[in-house]
Amino acid sequence: MKVALFIPCYVDQFYPNVGIATLELLEKLGVEVDFPLDQTCCGQPMANSGCETDGIGAANLFVENFKDYDYIVGPTGSCVLHVRDHFNKIQQTEEVKKVRAKTYELCEFLVDVLKVEHIEAEFPHKVGLHLSCHGLRGMRLGQSSEIVGQDFSKMRGLLEKVKGIELIELDRKDECCGFGGTFAVTEEAVSVKMGKDRVADHVRHGAEVLTGGDMSCLMHLGGIISRKDQPLKVMHIAEILNGATL
Amino acid sequence: MDHPSAAAIFNKDEARTEWHDKALWYVRSKRDLSAKSIPEWEQLRQIASAIKAHALSNLDNYLVEFEENAKKNGITVHWAQDGKEHNEIVHSILKAKEVKKLVKSKSMLTEECHLNPYLEEKGIEVIDTDLGERIVQLSKEPPSHIVMPAIHKKKEDIGQLFHEKLGTEAGASDPQYLAEAARQHLRQNFLTADASLTGVNFAIAETGGVVVCTNEGNADLGVSLAPIHIASMGIEKLIPKAAHLGVFLRLLARSATGQPITSFSSHFHGPKPGSEMHIIIVDNGRTEQLGRDDFRKSLNCIRCGACMNTCPVYRRSGGHSYGYTVPGPIGSILSPGKDLKKYSSLPFASTLCGSCSDVCPVKIDIHTQLYKWRQIIAKEHELPWSKRQAMKVAGYMFSHPNMYRTAGKAGRAMLKVTPKTLVNGPWNVWGKSRDLPPPPKESFRDWYLKNRVKK
Amino acid sequence: MSSRSKILDAIKKNKPQLSPLPEIPEFDNETVDKVAFLNEVMSIIGGVLEEIKDMDVLPSVVEAAYPNKKIIGSNIENFPLTTLDVNSIEDPHDLQNLDLIVLKGEFVVAENGAVWISEKDLVHRANAYITQHMALVVNREDLVWNMHQAYKRLELDRPGYGVFISGPSKTADIEQSLVIGAHGSRSMTLFLVG
């Protein structure tokens, strides 16, 4: 199985530790991982701003970088969703179709492809799981609270395998954090208020750590936590699953 | 004013923003409980969506069938291409009978057509009889929500308003007391009105009648007393058969307020004895929307307001911040079709979180449509120039790995040497209330080259 | 060209390809205790459910539930509590002092407490809205589970009017506080007979 690691641009630049945790976790699980060196961005920031056509170059480059792998795995629901749903704007060659179908969010890959039963990690802390919207409602990594049906969450399922972890319940289990790409800047007031409310929900329920599958949401929430000097730390889910300590 | 500016003003009073958010979240929570009491909920949504899709795909024939059957029921049917024609028709009906006072129940369509000011200018007194609508009418504001028009007002605001307009005690803000005062005030108007106007929730092709849903009973009290009933409806209200109401009435109130059904679901198939009934079928841009493949599904909307209650942006910016008759997510996909330039900020008033699409009882892909409107707005040059240029540059950079890496390195280096106070200056909108992450010494790629690639 | 033809032409031009009309299952629930469910629903919608054994006891239970009401109307023939013969009224405005209306309904839906009444049973449409209080009467055998079954059974008055009434008139337009008695009935009791 040839697996390529997809590290979103802002993770590459600002959160190398998340990339490292993802890589080490996959290696620990016996996967041979390759990191295509010429990767940049999936093109989502442009597309969500209405400038889909400006993202076409990035999309084509993505396909070029990843076309030769069986699976493409990234620690992000948001960018993976973009590859799957919005690479429909480039010409649908066999390569493009394959890349779209074979790009996985990390937790989804662990659950659906590797069928991981056991996680070698210990994290004796109270943790709040922020379910990022693109992973939740876009990729259906879990059941959103609006839908009537059996509740499930692939991320929660993995965290529950971590020794000593205590997952807290939130008042609003899957409300958006307010990041939303350029929304975070163009709608600054609402974005920040959403983030503050999301953080407050975690603080209210005694979380020591706020985790999630998308560093973009966590960057936004972490920025608010840091500015207000709140007693809470953000960590990407890959870090916890890889056995990080606080 | 665009949405971000209005929303920023709304957020200046943080306590009030929280109050607004919680009031609407409470409604969303009631909706969840109510929906979850029905095991076949998702199936119902699917069926409702398919009925609407079918009705839209055969709409011309259903309208003709509806008209024919309505006429058989003794109803006069009118057609209006736009708001202006609709208002003129209403006026001509009222003028013929020398109507002085019209009582109205909730109708977003007449809001859309700006009927009230039009009739008032012609000397006709218009009384909105839904309590929430009466509140906003008395305070000379548009509704801020399609189901709860005065949800933005606190009971103290309403107490003050009623004190000024209805003579209630100064300082009184008990909802029970205020609602009772409104009851007395409105009852006098019901008893003295010489015509009534209602909206339409559903129009049935097979039977030539319309269904109106209210909790207060205001539509019916108006219609059952006054000698004229005018019902205004958009063309998209058509459903083929009465049996389809079984699906929609199970979904509507549960989605709107969490009630199992509204108190009154009235089926009007003709005037009461000695009275007249008119139905005005209105287009006002709907046929155009019908022709847009990507946006047609927005015509499925049954105006339950669930997308507003669930929208984290709506809850924290208020209905008035949208500046359109129908606020919130659904309004943000309807309004650009009316005036792309004027409403160009609305499709961006969303994080694309998708909660609206999951809550929608008729499965409108609202957040996908928001995304698609964004593409059109950019193409039609309605994006701010700076944003457009930034995206062009980003697009170019991300197509060129070397350039991306150089820029990243430079950015991290710059952040490292710049003092935090300078980084978070007024030019950095991100940094107004949020810190940036501390820049790492190297990118993941740099680390990977050092630690995994064999030299 | 008339607005009618312009609208119809625009639809013809713009409508998508015909999509199929779905079948609607009945979604029956044979295991549920419908009366118990209805009882719970009535309390949610602000009404009261009272089970009575036959029509003979109706006057006494209505009187007990609504003591000292002066002006009482009903669609039940020779209902002994009647003080206003609604059949004799011509102008519905003359119903404005009605304290209580007692109406026999056709059937009730257990899932939402909605009672179906058509125009002929209402006598005046206004009866259901102008009254201060409302008592509805439905036979126990006329209890259906859900709205799909309801529409299978009801006949729409054409021309005419019919309504599902689910609890008293209410509003929550002031700060989401529930107030019973917005315009019409300030209370509603459903008597299930048999």
pLDDT, position B421:
72
Question: What are the structure tokens assigned to B380, written together?
Answer: 């039609």
Tell me what ipTM this predicted complex has: 0.98
Low-confidence spans in chain A with pLDDT less than 70: none
pLDDT at B305 over 60: yes
Q: Which domains does chain A have, with CATH numbers?
A: 3-113 (no CATH), 126-241 (3.40.50)
Which pLDDT tens digit goes with each residue over B107-162?
A: 999 999 999 999 999 999 999 999 999 999 999 999 999 999 999 999 999 999 99
pLDDT at B442 over 70: yes
Inside any domain, residue C84: yes
Give the SS3 label for residue B277. strand
Q: Tell me which residue in A50, A144, A190 faces B7 most closely, judged by beta carbons.
A: A190
pLDDT at B454 over 90: no
Residue C82 belongs to what domain range?
A: 32-193
> Which residue of chain B has the CA closest to A189?
B8
Which pLDDT tens digit goes with each residue over A196-230?
A: 999 999 999 999 999 999 999 999 999 999 999 99
Task: Flag if A46 and B391 touch (Cβ within 8 Å).
Answer: yes
Which pLDDT tens digit goes with each residue over B69-120?
A: 999 999 999 999 999 999 999 999 999 999 999 999 999 999 999 999 999 9
Q: B216 — contact with chain C (CB < 8 Å)?
A: yes
What proportion of chain C, given as a percentage, has pLDDT over 70?
100
Report which of C61, C49, C75 is spatially closest to residue C128, judged by C-alpha positions: C75
Q: Which domains does chain B have, with CATH numbers?
A: 60-135+171-284 (3.40.50.10420), 401-451 (no CATH)
Query: Which residues from C are below 8 Å from B58, CB to CB?
Result: 15, 18
Which pLDDT tens digit goes with each residue over B32-58?
A: 999 999 999 999 999 999 999 999 999
Inside any domain, residue C5: no
Q: B287 — contact with chain C (CB < 8 Å)?
A: yes
Which pLDDT tens digit goes with each residue over C149-187?
A: 999 999 998 999 999 999 999 999 999 999 999 999 999
C-alpha–C-alpha distance, residues B331 and A81, integer Å = 25
Inside any domain, residue C88: yes
Inside any domain, residue C8: no
Q: Chains C, A in contact: 3+ Cβ pairs under 8 A?
A: no
Inside any domain, residue C133: yes
Burial B284-317 (b: 16+ CB within 10 A, else e): bbbbebbebeebbbbbbbbbbbbbbbbbbbbbbb
Inside any domain, residue C1: no
The count of domains in chain C is 1
pLDDT at B426 over 80: no
pLDDT, position C4:
98
Inside any domain, residue C136: yes
Q: B420 — contact with chain A (CB < 8 Å)?
A: no
Question: What are the structure tokens assigned to A106, written together?
Answer: 């990390």
Which pLDDT tens digit goes with each residue over B215-245?
A: 999 999 999 999 999 999 999 999 999 999 9
Give the SS3 label for residue B76. strand
Residue C127: what residue type? N
Q: B156 — contact with chain C (CB < 8 Å)?
A: no
Beta strands in B149-256 (DSSP E): 195-198, 202-204, 209-214, 228-234, 238-239
pLDDT, position B412:
87
pLDDT, position B453:
85
CATH assignment at residue C157: 3.40.50.10420
pLDDT at C80 over 60: yes
pLDDT, position C157:
86
Confidence class of residue B200 from pLDDT cuts 50, 70 and 90? Answer: very high
Report which of B306, B406, B308 is spatially closest to residue B360, judged by C-alpha positions: B306
Going by C-beta distance under 8 Å and a sequence separation of 6 or more, which residues neighbour residue A24? A242
Task: Flag if B81 and C166 touch (Cβ within 8 Å).
Answer: no
Over residues B181-203, the mean pLDDT reads 98
Confidence class of residue B455 from pLDDT cuts 50, 70 and 90? Answer: low
Q: Tell me which residue in A35, A58, A222 faces B395 most closely, judged by beta carbons.
A: A58
Over residues C79-97, the mean pLDDT reads 97
Which pLDDT tens digit goes with each residue over C94-115?
A: 999 999 999 999 999 999 999 9
How many interface pairs between B and C have CB atoms less than 8 angstroms apart? 258
Inside any domain, residue C27: no
| Count of Cβ atoms closer than 10 Å to residue B121 Cβ | 9
Burial of B421 (0-12, 13-18, 19+ CB in 10 A): exposed
C-alpha–C-alpha distance, residues C161 and C120, integer Å = 8
